[in-house]
Amino acid sequence: MASNPPRRKVLIIEDEPSIRNVLYVLLARLGCDGDAAPDAYQALSMIRRSEFDAVLLDLRASQLPPDQMVCAIKELRPSLVGRVLVITGEVAHPKTIEMLERYALPHVPRSRITSELSPSIAQTDDLTSFIFSLGK
């Protein structure tokens, strides 16, 4: 009898409870477990203590500048750098674009998460592609 693959553990760094809840639901549909941190400092503490397969990072939830947050994640867990999905509404900001390109970070606009609350989102969302790519 084949055993189920282990569930992926994803850290959600998001300050808005409603968005956190949406992300919990999406992750559960994808067979993942989510842990949440409402701010950068709690998130970094959790990354220090626990292993995560991926991070969903809302740039607005971090009290640290985005570049500094990504550097801190990289310093604590280098294996996570390619496994950070940035949730942002600030993609047009030049510093944000530069950081996303420098670290080759995938991103999803906040509006995609808040506007696509339908049963089919687990098949169509950028989050799905990101999570499924973790096994590669």
Domain map (residue ranges) of the chain: 8-133
Among 136, 133, 131, 113, CA closest to 8 = 131
Tens-digit pLDDT profile for residues 76-128: 999 888 888 888 775 667 888 888 888 888 888 777 776 544 433 444 356 65
Architecture per CATH, 8-133: 3-Layer(aba) Sandwich (3.40)
Q: What is the pTM of this model?
A: 0.81
Tens-digit pLDDT profile for residues 47-70: 999 999 999 998 877 678 888 999
C-beta separation of 49 from 23 below 8 A: no
C-beta separation of 66 from 99 below 8 A: yes
